[in-house]
Chains A and B, each alone.
Chain A
Amino acid sequence: MSLADLTTHLTQAFQASDYATCAQTLPALKLQLAKASLLTPDFAQAPVADLVATRDILEMGALAAVHLGHEDQLERYIMQLRPFYATTVIDPSANENKLMALYLLLLLSRNEIAAFHTELETLGEVDGALENDAYLSYPVRLERWLMEGSYDKVYKAISQQSQVPAPEFSLFADTLAYALRGEIALCAEKAYSSLPIANARSLFFYQSDQQVIDFVQDQAGWSITNGHIVFPSVDADELASSAVTSLASSERVISNTLNYAGKVESII
């Protein structure tokens, strides 16, 4: 099949939300694009119409990857799209902010905060884009709440359909919720000595007690007694580790002192 045929085929499948067919068509299509050297084009020379077409194909690919839950593929498509977004030769795409927001969400769900901020800085060039754009502001808000610890707001934002800017975004809800519970578990471990299961249910945003019990069993060192979750005591931990550290610290003192002696020797 030729490039044009494949493109129409993909567009049809995409419009019919048949993402599996999209995924099947895309490899062949990308091969054709690469042969036409449009995958990594020379922006000064390639015809504008071709560039726009390539960008649209890649965008469809990225969105299909989101729907199919292929995170790695989404990341790859974003990388391939980047030069198309950076150039001024073609008009900006309507999907740009949406896709970048999805990518940010992906980074957030993987807890890659450094990459998240680097990306944000690049996007922030357009004045006010981050606060005012419906798509971009969503991951930005989530990150801010996650960092300050307003976990309830985060959960509301990912679980309530009304707060999600586009249906694609809710596809990340499960991964995000999972990451969120992990964060809360880490905090709870340090902050509470014990917690009633009923309270824990609301704390971890679970619907039933059974889910809480399942969750507790996945966490190392947590146990349930008399309807309370008992967290591993920090003091016991410290006692155990202090014996190790005192040994390690005397070793460190010795090595430091030897080091100083060597240095002073070389000075004199």
Chain B
Amino acid sequence: MSTDIKPETPKVEVAPVQVVDAEEVKASVINDIKQSFTLLERGATTFDSRFILKVFRDLPALRKRVNATILSKIVGESYPDSNESKNILLKFIGEDTPKDNHEMEIDFTSNPATPEAVVTITPTEILPEVDMFLHLLIQVWLLNRHEIEPLKAFNEFVVTKLKTYNRRSLDQLSAKIWFYYARAKELSGQLDEIRPVLLNALGTATIRHDTETQASLITLLLRNYVVSKNFNQAANLVSKTNFPESAGNALAARYLYYLGRINAIQLDYSSAHDKVIGAIRKAPQTKLASGFLQSANKLNIVIELLMGDIPERSIFSQRELERCLVPYFEITKAVRIGDITLFSETVEKHAEKLKQDGNYSLVLRLRQNVIKTGIRIMSLAYSRIPLKDICIRLHLDSEESAEYIVAKAIRDGVIEATIDHEKGFMQSKEVLDIYSTNEPQQTYHDRIEFCLGLHDDSVKSMRYPMSLNRFDLKQVEEVREREKELASEIQEGDFDEDDDDDFEL
């Protein structure tokens, strides 16, 4: 390690204290990466995906700390000289270094030094997991620096390499690698091009029962279709594929969100509502996912309004969401009052924002709800009201229109009333006592079903240590120790919060 550092220290002219800090940080980062390697190895030998998930949990923190120096060093130490990937990786890391400032200058000089450093360590072979993890790390690093062009070139290389492996312990890694692959293409606007590539990969993943990659690719394709507004294709994809149940929560949340959006477009509001609620609940509740939570909440509000419900006020007063939900709050107010002019004004005022969120056309559909709310309020307040008054209150164009609209409201079950055409008034029926119907029974049944379902799901998701009886007692204890360690690590670490920052549409 020391041989590597030596040539760069004289180069730095700034305060030496900083250098020490930088060196310390560097050492700790390298240490962390090395630790990830051990976890990966363990995951590969025990076929336990939890070890790999643990690595991912550390990834967001890690990706902010890596730099070219660290990467080239790690790559240099991990690969045997005979491995041809080594030089390619080093090229990708080194390629763009001169562009960068001070810190990157250091590593430029260190690059030629790395091969020498390796001589002392000389690994004979590299584990595929570690291999792919390093690739992933470089992908993340390039994306972090917004170097889209090199990232795309690198992606092609990674994906080709990925195809040569067929190991189930790589599933989680390949899911992530595909994500960054698609992300880079999306950032450069090549949405059309990657579809066949992704679909091909999806086919391969499905055949191999690689559920994690499958889930990742399905969400990527859905996102692709939704972003390019190909809702027909998106709906087709959903109907032709099975989203694997065992997929991770972050992926499932994303999948549900897109599904909810598609359902909402197709006017299937109640299932859209279920999906979006599911997405909000499954999403990681951390800062990194707030972009996703924002768009999911926006969509949820619109769907609730479309269903004729008024979202609860508490939704709008959540701290992280408060600001971005303002347009939706004002629209909700307009819908609640049933004032069509206020509604039109509000929509006009926030049109830009709504279009940006992709909810504009959904909000426009609310117009009819606003009218219905207005009629409902009136039918509750008056037992008999002339159509002419309705027309005036709701700012409708003609009495004729009012008659049709009221008739439609009656048919849709918004109000309980009849119209007297000859005398031109609307007569409200008495409000039905809800407790005399089957409604409470049905609701009660739904709740019981929910609780039972929750119980079943909890039982299903319980995990037991794998085939313990095969070990002898000493090993058991060792394993327990390790489990405990892992459990505490899991508790300390946050949820899988990686890559949630690009949830926003």
Task: Decide: A150 and B361 in contact? CB cutoff 8 A.
Answer: no
Task: Decide: A122 and B421 in contact? CB cutoff 8 A.
Answer: no
* Given A118-B265, A148-B367, A191:B231 Cβ within 8 A: no
Q: List chain A residues, Cβ under 8 A from B420.
A: 192
B164 lies within 8 A of chain A by Cβ: no
A35 lies within 8 A of chain B by Cβ: no
Q: What string of 1s and 0s marks CB contacts (under 8 Å) between A154-197 and chain B?
A: 00000000000000000000000000000110111111110110
B268 lies within 8 A of chain A by Cβ: yes
Q: List chain A residues, Cβ under 8 A from B148.
A: none
B422 lies within 8 A of chain A by Cβ: yes
Task: Decide: B452 and A263 in contact? CB cutoff 8 A.
Answer: yes
Task: Decide: A191 and B267 in contact? CB cutoff 8 A.
Answer: no
A120 lies within 8 A of chain B by Cβ: yes
Q: List chain B residues, Cβ under 8 A from A196.
A: 421-422
Task: Decide: B267 and A117 in contact? CB cutoff 8 A.
Answer: yes
Task: Decide: A151 and B361 in contact? CB cutoff 8 A.
Answer: no
Q: What string of 1s and 0s marks CB contacts (under 8 Å) between B373-406 and chain A?
A: 0000000000000000000000011101101111
Q: What string of 1s and 0s marks CB contacts (under 8 Å) between B322-366 and chain A?
A: 000000000000000000000000000000000100001100110
* Given A118-B235, A121-B265, A149:B405 Cβ within 8 A: yes
Residue from A149, A193, A267 whose CB has the most chain B CB atoms within 10 Å:
A149
* Given A118-B265, A152-B404, A192-B419, A147:B365 Cβ within 8 A: yes
Q: What string of 1s and 0s marks CB contacts (under 8 Å) between B437-458 and chain A?
A: 0100100010010001001000
A192 CA to B425 CA, complexed, in Å: 11
Which chain B residue lies CB-closest to A152?
B400
* Given A118-B232, A125-B229, A150:B422 Cβ within 8 A: no
Task: Decide: A150 and B404 in contact? CB cutoff 8 A.
Answer: yes
CB of B115, distance to nearest CB on chain A (Å): 42
Q: List chain B residues, Cβ under 8 A from A149.
A: 368, 371, 401, 404-409
Q: List chain A residues, Cβ under 8 A from B266.
A: 114, 117-118
B34 lies within 8 A of chain A by Cβ: no
A125 CA to B228 CA, complexed, in Å: 8
CB of B217, distance to nearest CB on chain A (Å): 22
B38 lies within 8 A of chain A by Cβ: no
One of B265, B364, B365, B421 near A195 (C-beta < 8 A): B421
Task: Decide: B401 and A150 in contact? CB cutoff 8 A.
Answer: yes
A147 CA to B267 CA, complexed, in Å: 12
B281 lies within 8 A of chain A by Cβ: no
Task: Decide: B235 and A260 in contact? CB cutoff 8 A.
Answer: no
B117 lies within 8 A of chain A by Cβ: no
A69 lies within 8 A of chain B by Cβ: no
Within 8 A of B (CB), among A105-124: 113-114, 117-122, 124
CB of B175, distance to nearest CB on chain A (Å): 29
Q: List chain B residues, Cβ under 8 A from A186.
A: 411
Task: Decide: A147 and B406 in contact? CB cutoff 8 A.
Answer: no
Q: List chain A residues, Cβ under 8 A from B422.
A: 196, 199
Q: List chain A residues, Cβ under 8 A from B365.
A: 117, 147
Which chain B residue lies CB-closest to A248?
B438
A147 CA to B372 CA, complexed, in Å: 11
Task: Decide: A118 and B371 in contact? CB cutoff 8 A.
Answer: no
A210 lies within 8 A of chain B by Cβ: no
Which chain B residue lies CB-closest to A253?
B441
Task: Decide: B418 and A150 in contact? CB cutoff 8 A.
Answer: no
Q: List chain B residues, Cβ under 8 A from A256.
A: 445
How many chain-B residues does the 8 Å CB contact rule pick out? 43
Q: List chain A residues, Cβ under 8 A from B410.
A: 187, 190-191
Within 8 A of B (CB), among A15-49: none
One of A117, A191, A249 near B407 (C-beta < 8 A): A191
A127 lies within 8 A of chain B by Cβ: yes
A149 CA to B408 CA, complexed, in Å: 6
A130 CA to B351 CA, complexed, in Å: 14
A153 lies within 8 A of chain B by Cβ: yes
A166 CA to B65 CA, complexed, in Å: 63
B35 lies within 8 A of chain A by Cβ: no
A195 CA to B420 CA, complexed, in Å: 8
Within 8 A of A (CB), among B444-474: 445, 448, 452, 455
CB of B316, distance to nearest CB on chain A (Å): 26
CB of B387, distance to nearest CB on chain A (Å): 11
Task: Decide: A260 and B267 in contact? CB cutoff 8 A.
Answer: no
CB of A118, distance to nearest CB on chain B (Å): 5
A144 lies within 8 A of chain B by Cβ: yes
B230 lies within 8 A of chain A by Cβ: yes
Q: List chain B residues, Cβ under 8 A from A195.
A: 421
* Given A118-B235, A122-B231, A193-B418, A152:B398 Cβ within 8 A: yes
A117 CA to B229 CA, complexed, in Å: 12
* Given A122-B230, A253-B441, A113:B267 Cβ within 8 A: yes
CB of B373, distance to nearest CB on chain A (Å): 12
Task: Decide: B267 and A122 in contact? CB cutoff 8 A.
Answer: no
One of B230, B267, B371, B404 near A187 (C-beta < 8 A): B404
A124 CA to B360 CA, complexed, in Å: 10
CB of A27, distance to nearest CB on chain B (Å): 27
Which chain A residue lies CB-closest to B358?
A121
One of A114, A124, A249, A263 near B361 (C-beta < 8 A): A124
One of B406, B409, B448 near A260 (C-beta < 8 A): B448
* Given A120-B361, A150-B401, A196-B421, A191:B406 Cβ within 8 A: yes
CB of B409, distance to nearest CB on chain A (Å): 7
Q: List chain A residues, Cβ under 8 A from B403.
A: 203
Which chain A residue lies CB-closest to B406?
A191
Task: Decide: B401 and A114 in contact? CB cutoff 8 A.
Answer: no
Task: Decide: B407 and A188 in contact? CB cutoff 8 A.
Answer: yes
- Pairs A-B, 7 closest by C-beta atoms: A149-B408, A187-B407, A149-B405, A191-B407, A148-B368, A114-B266, A151-B404
- Chain B residues with a Cβ under 8 A of chain A: 229-232, 235, 265-268, 355, 360-361, 364-365, 367-368, 371, 396-398, 400-401, 403-411, 417-422, 438, 441, 445, 448, 452, 455
Interchain residue pairs with CB less than 8 A apart (20): A114-B267, A118-B231, A121-B229, A121-B231, A121-B265, A121-B361, A122-B231, A122-B232, A124-B361, A144-B364, A149-B407, A150-B397, A150-B401, A150-B404, A152-B398, A152-B400, A184-B404, A187-B408, A190-B411, A192-B421
Apart from A124-B361, A151-B404, A152-B404: 11 A-B pairs, beta carbons within 8 A: A114-B267, A117-B267, A121-B361, A122-B231, A149-B409, A152-B401, A187-B410, A187-B411, A190-B410, A192-B418, A199-B421
